[in-house]
C-alpha cells in the first residue's frame, strides 16, 4: 500500500474515513481517545472531591486538606472549575481530530487543543522535575515542606498532567493535515 491515501480513505486503512474527520481506528484518534480517558479520569477525581469525597485528599497540600474537611465554599468552587477545565481539555483533541461541521471553528479548536496540550505538558514536566529534584536531594527541602505530600505530587499528580499532555500532543501530531485543513476551512 502506498503512503498517499486514496480519496476518502484514511492512511493505512481499507475503510473510508467519516466525512470531515479521522478514521476512528487511526493512530491519532486512538491517542486522542487515550488522552481523553486520562483527562476524564482526572476530572472525575476533582468531581469526587467537589462532591465531598475525602479519598486521597490527604495527599494534597495542607491548605487544600483543611478546606476540604470544612467544605470551604471558595475551595469547592475552585475544584468544580478545575473539573470543568479538565473535561474541556480532555475532549478538545477528540473534537479537533473529528473536525466540526462549521469550518470556522476548526482552527479555534485546533489552536485550543494545542494550547491545552502544551500547558498540560509543561506544567507536568516542570512540577514533576522540580518535585523529583527535591526528593532526590538535588534541591534542598525547607523545614516546612511536607515530604509525603511532595512525594504524591512528584510521583502521581504532576506526572498525570505530563502523560495526559504528551498523549494529547502526540494525537495532534499524528494528524499531520489537521492545522492545514483547519486553515483551509477558514
Answer yes or no: is 19 within a domain: no
Residue 63 lies in a domain: yes
Average pLDDT over residues 108-136: 95
Grid cell in block for residue 174: 499524528
Report if residue 10 sits inside a domain.
Answer: no
Binned at pLDDT 50, 70 and 90, residue 21 comes out as low
Task: Choose between 82 and 182: higher pLDDT.
Answer: 82
Over residues 152-180, mean pLDDT: 88
Residue 61's pLDDT band, with cuts at 50, 70 and 90, is confident
What pLDDT shows up at residue 142? 81
The tally of domains found in the chain comes to: 1
pTM: 0.79
Residue 180 resides in a domain: yes
Does the pLDDT at position 3 exceed 60? no
Q: Is 16 among the domain residues?
A: no
Whether the CB-CB separation of 149 and 70 falls below 8 Å is answered with no
* pLDDT over 50 (residue 130): yes
Q: Is residue 122 part of a domain?
A: yes
Please, are residues 92 and 116 in contact by the beta-carbon 8 Å criterion?
Answer: yes
Q: What is the pLDDT of residue 105?
A: 85
Q: Is 143 exposed, middle or buried (0-12, 13-18, 19+ CB in 10 A)?
A: exposed
Comparing 27-36, 80-89, 142-151, 170-179, the range with the smallest average pLDDT is 170-179
Give Rg (Cα) of the chain: 20
State yes or no: pLDDT of 13 exceeds 80.
Answer: no
Quickly state the pLDDT bin for 63 (edges 50, 70, 90). Answer: confident
Structural domain boundaries, residue 129: 27-185
Grid coordinates representing 72 are 470551604
| 52's grid cell | 465531598
Query: Is 106 a member of any domain?
Result: yes
CA angle 40, 43, 44 (to 5 degrees): 90
Please report, for residues 57, 141, 148, 160, the alpha-carbon distance to residue 60 in angstroms, rounded to integers and kept in the order given. 6, 17, 9, 14
- At residue 6, the pLDDT reads 39
Residue 168, pLDDT above cutoff 60: yes
Residue 3 lies in a domain: no
Amino acid at each position: 500500500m502506498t503512503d498517499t491515501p486514496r480519496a476518502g480513505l484514511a492512511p493505512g486503512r481499507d475503510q473510508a474515513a467519516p466525512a470531515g474527520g479521522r478514521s476512528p481506528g487511526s493512530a491519532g484518534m486512538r491517542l486522542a481517545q487515550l488522552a481523553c480517558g486520562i483527562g476524564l479520569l482526572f476530572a472525575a477525581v476533582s468531581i469526587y472531591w467537589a462532591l465531598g469525597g475525602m479519598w486521597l485528599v490527604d495527599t494534597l497540600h495542607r491548605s487544600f486538606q483543611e478546606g476540604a474537611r470544612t467544605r470551604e465554599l471558595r475551595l469547592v468552587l475552585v475544584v468544580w472549575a478545575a473539573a470543568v477545565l479538565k473535561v474541556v481539555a480532555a475532549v478538545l483533541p477528540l473534537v479537533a481530530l473529528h473536525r466540526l461541521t462549521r469550518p470556522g471553528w476548526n482552527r479555534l479548536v485546533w489552536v485550543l487543543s494545542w494550547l491545552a496540550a502544551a500547558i498540560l505538558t509543561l506544567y507536568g514536566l516542570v512540577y514533576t522535575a522540580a518535585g523529583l529534584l527535591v526528593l532526590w536531594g538535588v534541591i534542598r527541602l525547607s523545614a516546612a515542606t511536607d515530604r509525603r505530600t511532595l512525594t504524591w505530587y512528584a510521583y502521581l499528580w504532576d506526572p498525570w498532567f505530563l502523560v495526559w499532555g504528551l498523549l494529547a500532543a502526540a494525537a495532534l501530531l499524528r494528524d499531520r493535515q489537521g492545522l492545514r485543513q483547519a486553515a483551509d476551512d477558514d
